[in-house]
Structure 1
Amino acid sequence: MPTLLHLDTSVFPGEASASRAVTATFRQEWEAQHPTGTVIYRDLAAEPLPHLDGLAAQAGFVPAENHTPEQQAAFALRETLASELERADVVLIGAPMYNFTIPSTLKAWLDHVIIMGRTAGAEQTTTSGTPAIVVASRGGGYGPGTPRESFEFVTTYLEKALRDGLNLDVQFVVPELTLARSNPAMADLVELSDASKAKAHEDAASKAKELATRFAA
């Protein structure tokens, strides 16, 4: 049965987080299609990873059989995280916009799993072609033609890191204007916010169903 790797990164819990709510919709539909499948779940906000340090980074450029004991210990977490990614048939990532870019906890995960010559740095890697659904929620509007389009560094960065770096097959689900109901200054955008939210949940469920058919027993 297939394996889903699910990462959440929002600092807000449950329904208080737009990205968590939408990743939950995807996962619920995925699990309905694959009730005996495997889900590897990491809540990177609740259990953040340590930043990549020099010894762990250096070990990524040394063949495993040549690791010193210190390098082996430092590389152990990178090995675990990379192996989880390599096992995944589908990757699901909640990536809310914080200060125009991704949460630092997600960047830490990327720094660990991007290993040149293994998951990255070649035309064919151990993760090539794996579908990745990214729920890129944002409080305002940053789409094409909006005044803040040039401030959007979530999808622009992740497209490069996931697609061009890890060779994943990336698709984005983007609920935006998520602060409209809590910010009086955005009161006239509530209807657009609600429509964006509904479409994001619909898209997440649809993508889960479509991907599930690829791994039907």
Structure 2
Amino acid sequence: MSFKKKLGLGVASAVLGISLVGGGTFAYFSDTEASENTFAAGTLDLTLDPVEIFNVDNLKPGDYMPRTFQLENSGSLDIAKVLLDTSYTVNDAKGDNGNQDLGEHIEVKFIKNEGHSEHWFDNDEYTVVANKNLKELSQYTPDELAVELEDGGIFWDYKKDGIPAGGADDLRVLIEFVDNGEDQNIFQGDSLELTWEFTAEQEDGERR
């Protein structure tokens, strides 16, 4: 065999050898672990007891109605605060109210929570946190009213901590058909439908 033929065969063999090495596989150790993650949102569930706080007829100026009711947190998350939104409609029975609004003659007194609710109205010794007629209340935003009521201490057990999950807070109000000492005959036979909407807000997010 000539030198050229031997050299050519040698080169061919070298190239083939490189090809075999380049196309081979290597074994190595390995281990795999999977991370299974769950994110479950909590719930806010505000319960009002009783739902109908006032149902009174045959009212006259000077009548007043003390009531207690309970806000219960039936959810899994703590409630930071409860906002109150007021709206009402007046049924003008005779159509002669003109620019007079019955809501301006219905006054709401929010009473400071002191002690057990069953004794709140045993006597007239109670602290009025806020005193607004229905028209005034309806003009507050829920946030504005919350500032005024919380500063006055309408919440007792949970004034600072809101209402924890599974907890409840008793509130009391006194509504009066104010006798202003003037002629209020235009309101005879009228009725007023009051809606109080309570909205629970969560606490601020935290590191978990």
Give the structure-2-normalised TM-score. Answer: 0.22
Which structure's residues are more often strand, by fraction? 2
Give the structure-1-normalised TM-score. Answer: 0.21
Greater relative CO (CA pairs within 8 A, separation 6+):
2
Which structure's residues are more often helix, by fraction? 1
Larger-gyration structure (1/2): 2
